Amino acid sequence: MDVVKFFEELGMGKYQARALIALMKHGEAKASEVSDLSGVPRAKVYGVLDQLADMGFVDKIPGRPVRFRAKSPERIIERIKYNIIIEYNRMLNRIENMEKELFSSLKALYSESEVRTRELMRVVSVGEPSERETRILYNQAKTEINIVSKSFEYYPKVRNELIGASKRGVKIKILLLGEEFLEERSRAVQKEILKLVKSDLDAEIRLSKTLLPLRGAIIDPSYEYKTGKAIFVVEDPETPLYLRDAAVTENPSLVAGMKKYFDLIWKYESTPLSSHANSQG
């Protein structure tokens, strides 16, 4: 693992990362020694070490000259997480404090056409982008979440958001592909995921008796076409998953149609997980 690059991705400067790693390798050292060990210019090394101390990664040891010592890996990791939380809360508070002013400024810049049609859908890549959109939808859910999946392999990546939704009283239904349609590996994955889901959530789970042409999640649908959001992927065995796109929609009519598709399969073409397990026994 390239630790310098990782530290830089977290927002640490290159000099800061080099100085910290030099101290971790060589222990306690003077600023001039850190400069020689890390390649940080002497004109900058004192400022860099002071910054590392302010961030909680390095201890300053009083004396003539002052010496510096890196904290333990455990303390550094704890401090990284703490600093991220502090920065996140700072930015969130800043946005909340200026929300009205920001809204007014953005509204002044925003130009609406005379006739504005409601966007049918937008496209995101399958993988991290679609998982991020899914987590957002789960966090926004107020009444219900309807999930259609093959084996729900991505559950660990959205687990916290679904647990949060369940605690808020959101009704959760999960429709998975019947094991007769799954390869051996997918059956094993589904079995382990179901153990986790049942221990985490108060959710209804059914297994489909047919192939599922769509996979995704339907959030807060309304048959009055007033609310609803969804994210879905069209099943396409000929295309590798990493090349597929997912569609995200907030069009209430489209979401209502997807909900009807979900309800029909749920009622007529699936079986409860418990009865399926009994039949297999």
- Residue 165 and residue 265 in one domain: yes
Q: Residue 239: is its pLDDT beyond 80?
A: no
pLDDT tens-digit map of 50-87: 999 999 999 999 888 899 999 999 999 999 999 888 88
Residues paired with 70 in a beta bridge: 58
- Residue 150 and residue 261 in one domain: yes
> Is 228 part of a structural domain of the chain?
yes
Residues paired with 209 in a beta bridge: none
> Is 109 part of a structural domain of the chain?
no
> Is 21 part of a structural domain of the chain?
yes
Distance from C-alpha of 106 to C-alpha of 207, rounded to nearest angstrom:
46
Q: Tell me, what's the pLDDT at 241?
A: 60
Number of domains in the chain: 2
CATH assignment at residue 32 = 1.10.10.10
- Residue 155 and residue 68 in one domain: no
- Residue 169 and residue 266 in one domain: yes
> Is 256 part of a structural domain of the chain?
yes
Query: Which among 73, 93, 109 is the end of a domain?
Result: 73
- Residue 150 and residue 264 in one domain: yes
As a whole number of angstroms, the longest Cα–Cα distance in the chain is: 81
> Is 113 part of a structural domain of the chain?
no
Secondary structure, 3-state, 245-257: EEEEECCHHHHHH
Closest CA to 203 of 140, 133, 136, 138: 138
CATH assignment at residue 188 = 3.30.870.10
- Residue 165 and residue 245 in one domain: yes
Read off the tokens for 5: 């690059």
- Residue 48 and residue 147 in one domain: no
More confident residue, 131 or 116: 131
> Is 94 part of a structural domain of the chain?
no
94-124 as b/e: b if 16+ CB within 10 A = eeeeeeeeeeeeeeeeeeeeeeeeeeeeeeb
C-alpha distances in angstroms, 77 versus 55, 57, 71, 86? 12, 9, 10, 14
Band (pLDDT 50/70/90 cuts) for residue 158 is: very high
pLDDT tens-digit map of 13-52: 899 999 999 999 988 899 999 999 999 999 999 999 999 9
Distance from C-alpha of 155 to C-alpha of 161, rounded to nearest angstrom:
10
pLDDT tens-digit map of 183-227: 999 999 999 999 999 999 999 999 999 998 899 999 999 988 889
Query: Which among 73, 88, 110 is the end of a domain?
Result: 73
Three-state DSSP class for residue 90: helix
Q: Tell me, what's the pLDDT at 112?
A: 61
Query: Which among 56, 73, 90 is the end of a domain?
Result: 73
Closest CA to 161 of 135, 189, 134, 195: 135
- Residue 155 and residue 18 in one domain: no
E strand or H helix that includes residue 197 = helix 184-200
- Residue 141 and residue 228 in one domain: yes
- Residue 128 and residue 259 in one domain: yes
Closest CA to 58 of 43, 37, 79: 79
Average pLDDT, rounded, for the chain: 89
pLDDT tens-digit map of 247-269: 999 999 999 999 999 999 999 99
> Is 82 part of a structural domain of the chain?
no
- Range(s) of the domain holding residue 214: 122-280
- Residue 137 and residue 266 in one domain: yes
> Is 80 part of a structural domain of the chain?
no
Q: Residue 117: is its pLDDT beyond 70?
A: no
- Residue 203 and residue 273 in one domain: yes
